[in-house]
Amino acid sequence: MESDAFAMRILGMATFRYRMVSGGARDGEGGLATAVRTIEAPDRASAVRMLVQRGETPSGLEEVRGTGDDTGAGAGLAGHAGGVRARMSLRAGSPMSRVETASFTRELATAVQAGLPLVVALRTIAGQGRTAAQRAMLERVIADVEHGDALSASLERIGRPFTGLIVSLVHAGEVSGRLAEVLWQAAKLQDRDVKLRRSLLGALLYPIIIAVVISIAIVIVVTVIVPRVLGAVAGQLRELPLPTRVVQSVAGFVGDWWWFLLLALAGGLFALSRLYAQPATRLKIDRLLLRVPVLGGVLRDVAVARFTRTLGTLVGAGLPVLAALRVTKGTLNNRAMEAAIDDVCEQVSAGRTIAEPMEQSGYFPPLLIQIVNMGERTGKLDEMLLQAADAFEEKTEQSVKLFTAVLPPVLIILLACTVGFVVLAILLPLIEMQEAIG
């Protein structure tokens, strides 16, 4: 049964079950007798039309999933849609990762470009090895589209994993009649974003490992090794050297109050996350991060690369410049640069160009400002932005490599200074004891 249902979906057909009142007949309880029947159609709307042409008026219509008893009474479309929405509301997080979302967009673009109707394309994709949560999400999209909703409107109601960027691109494709082309652009944009995220994660992994190893090594040396070594000289000297007293104090405090330090660390991280969630505080922090040497350059280059690629894609898809700017703002992940884009939108709404307020913000490189200015004058803003995006993405990779090349030596220098101070704290009392004995 499951293989038959799947084959019908691939061919664009599905089985629907409905209740049909059997004339004036009565059941055992005095009510109207009903009969459960099935009909095959490409989608629910087609099934309804076919039943109307037959002169039948069903009391409920639901798709047969191919599992369980096909003779049981269904709850109708409302019950099915409600069940899908309930599953969607109960899910934790997003049913699709960024990679899976990009793959879904690419598959949908391929199906639409091949000439398949949208509902048939969605049904075909939903049956290709998706998880239960993904199938539930796609069934909700299918139900919305069958009821006449636009695909972009359905994706917007679902939310994650479909961001405002994806929704805007799909809407632009629907309005312009170039849905397949725009879906391809959305898939490429998502692929580049995934590649950039992986590049950043891979670049930060080595420094993070070094930092963790350094922290563990310092804790072990200060709390375990130092007390044992200094225990041998305890009481042998009237006054220990200053470095030794500092290390002893730190070791004693950590040994006695380690639980308090862990609680303080957890509380500090929680408080910092709450503060960072406040717009005003996050704006100040993001501005400060952009001024940090090396790190600020990396963050700015990443944001500029995303801005260039996303704005070029949206404008090329036919979205108005002002709407494209507002959507692009959400991809920067930096409130300081987002505030700059808000100012750009206000200036553009007042009839000014994009390049001038971008230059006044001070966050965007002169090359990008010149490209935007030239693109506005020639009417080829999307083409010039997409061409420039490759150069900015290459610069981002270079900035990430520079950051990962600089950070490990800095961490190693900090480790060397810390270990050197601890070694000095151990050697100084031993030297003083030797001098006293000699």
Are both 264 and 402 inside the same structural domain?
yes
Q: Is residue 249 part of a domain?
A: yes
pLDDT of residue 263: 92
Question: Domain containing 413: what range?
Answer: 195-438
Cα separation of 363 and 345, whole Å? 15
Q: Is residue 225 part of a domain?
A: yes
pLDDT of residue 20: 61
Are both 37 and 109 inside the same structural domain?
no
User: CATH no. for residue 40?
Assistant: 3.10.20
**Packing angle of the helix pair 132-146, 151-158 (nearest 10 deg):** 140
pLDDT of residue 52: 57
Are both 317 and 436 inside the same structural domain?
yes
Domain count, the chain: 3
pLDDT of residue 29: 44
C-beta contacts of 137-141 below 8 A and 24+ residues apart: 137/88, 137/95, 137/96, 139/84, 140/81, 140/84, 140/85, 140/88
Which residue, 24, 50, 70, sits at the end of a domain?
70
Which two tokens mark 287?
Answer: 């501005």
Are both 204 and 58 inside the same structural domain?
no
Are both 300 and 376 inside the same structural domain?
yes
Q: Are 392 and 308 in contact (CB under 8 A)?
A: yes
Are both 342 and 380 inside the same structural domain?
yes
Cβ-proximal residues to 348 (8 Å cutoff; 6+ apart), any chain: 321, 322, 325, 354, 357
Q: Is residue 168 part of a domain?
A: no
Cα separation of 239 and 247, whole Å? 14
Q: Is residue 278 part of a domain?
A: yes
Are both 330 and 199 inside the same structural domain?
yes
Which of 46, 29, 47 shows the shortest CA–CA distance to 38? 47
Which residue, 137, 162, 187, sits at the end of a domain?
162
Q: Are 334 and 364 in contact (CB under 8 A)?
A: no
Per-residue pLDDT of the chain (438 residues; tens, 9 = 90+): 443 443 344 345 667 776 664 444 444 444 444 567 777 776 666 666 666 566 565 555 666 654 433 333 333 333 333 333 333 333 445 677 888 888 888 888 888 888 878 888 888 877 765 678 877 888 888 888 888 778 888 888 887 788 777 887 788 777 777 788 888 878 887 887 788 778 777 777 877 887 788 778 777 777 777 777 776 666 666 777 788 888 878 877 877 887 888 899 899 889 888 888 888 888 888 888 888 887 888 888 888 888 888 888 888 877 788 888 888 887 787 888 888 888 888 888 888 888 888 888 888 888 888 888 888 888 888 888 888 888 888 888 888 888 778 877 887 888 788 878 888 887 887 777 777 665
Are both 133 and 219 inside the same structural domain?
no
